Structure 1
């Protein structure tokens, strides 16, 4: 219906994050009603395919995420009614996290230079997600050279179309195209090397560690290009979703754990520990991946306990500034523990990676709410959860 408020738009995990709060809170309620451990309930209902689809998951290790996470988080010490620590009521909660693994059409150009370096270019963007580093790492791996010899380039419409940095797709999309472009430029390089009059004229050649190899000799590609009076050699590679979509379903998975402390008198709720264990295929850049997941988990805590936009009767935001709109600060966020299971999903793409940019937020708000219930016995079915929600007679 028409409302006198601004239109909404999407942030991280636009449907999955709010949807999972309802679903994963309901799973926790069901576990309580059945007098069953919440993890055991989820393990017993582990699925091999999405509901309503016959295509099985290409790779799913959510059960292992929960088992690894439970051992690491000390879930065995959890009791159905939390515990008391002085003036604090302490509870543990958990929730599943799922985010679809997608990829978009992408084209990448690779240029081998006579100075022994390479350029990897695509017109995608890097809004803080680490895609530039991914281009260097996958480019270096595909060309069998160190990443510091790669110059990554993004953000110019003169470069080949690189798709969107959205939907947690950039690494899988661009990375697969890099591998195709690298294979092509290496084939072209070998053809040049063995052509008439070339340094390896008539010789069977191969490529390894950035060099053309043949007849007992090895020549770096930069030296070869200089010998041929060429400044560079380029090739493009294009990748797009294909027939794999008719064979499997694809998703990243995670198990998220949270410990919350609620003050028995003031009813202040504070998150004291967080852990996320994720099955997201191959992890290309460990540091960036942990940063993405940690950022998502912080945002999930913010959704659970802080963020709420209020509107006046005329539709004007009542707290449209940082004085009234609550966001977490360092004191609100404990150390975040992140663990990855490392199962490359080569059925999804040749790189084996799935997205990590959004899944970190998905189950966090529900895990916080479930931990609050475990600590206090109060079930809150909306977010953010405020002090008023936790007041008792």
Structure 2
């Protein structure tokens, strides 16, 4: 999509009036619908990202002019101790376009595809970077380019500048005065990151188109489209010298704000469903973990049961072995006792037998002596006779 004005005259003026009314009456959640009930924030926060000197601060003045139809100097909500480094913004700045639309300016992002820059970008998109914290993009330029306006003042009462705001719409700012290679270096990686992180592709705005060659602007738009940016808007920024903004540029800026209003709602809806999906995945993982825990507990319990059963069986076996050993010991003792008894009985029989033999022997000898004595008497009698 290109935001080049296609209307003119009264039609363009009428379109600007209608767009301005939509911008001024916008409230987050009004331009998108969602099946679920979502609590939208009170304000939409638009993040500006671009290399040093691309005209981000002047763009904010131009957005104020387009929103209100007159020049209203950008008013910054500054953190205490805010400072400049070589003429460049070091801290993020918050400016109100309407009561419901705020723009966050940034330090120049000169090497967007570095790991540190992506990390910083994620912190800002999620609202985890405060306004009193210095922005440190890796490779951020410390040259002498400056934005086109000075800082103003705004009442800071009740504002916690240590806390950021989630960015609903990311705008990449490119200057038509810069060469194309400088503008798009590392851009594709950042666009892919933004799409995956926000659920929306960033929009792009080309500043200083009134002082650049038309062919250069068209070439830049072509390169941006190839990099993944489809919504490209063109504007000639207000400066301290240029205090009026032509209607075609007002229309372009109002169309940009309209797109940001839609992107803001759609990003919030995307984040809502993203969180819902993450919660669902966490719940599934929680249940899986609970299931794994229960399974582990059951496994441990089963292992303990099996171990206890094994120990019980081992104890029973041990008792059986001990009883068997005792039985065998008793049996051996019984056999030994029986053997001893048999031996004793055998010895007793032998003794009795021996005694009987000896008795018989004695009786024989006694009988022999008696016979011999009797024979002696008979012999004596015979001699006498």
Shorter-normalised TM-score: what interval?
under 0.3
TM-score relative to the length of structure 1: 0.18
Larger relative contact order (CA 8 Å, sep ≥ 6): 1
Larger proportion of helix: 2
Q: Which has the higher strand share?
A: 1
Q: Computing the radius of gyration over CA atoms, which structure comes out larger, 1 or 2? A: 2
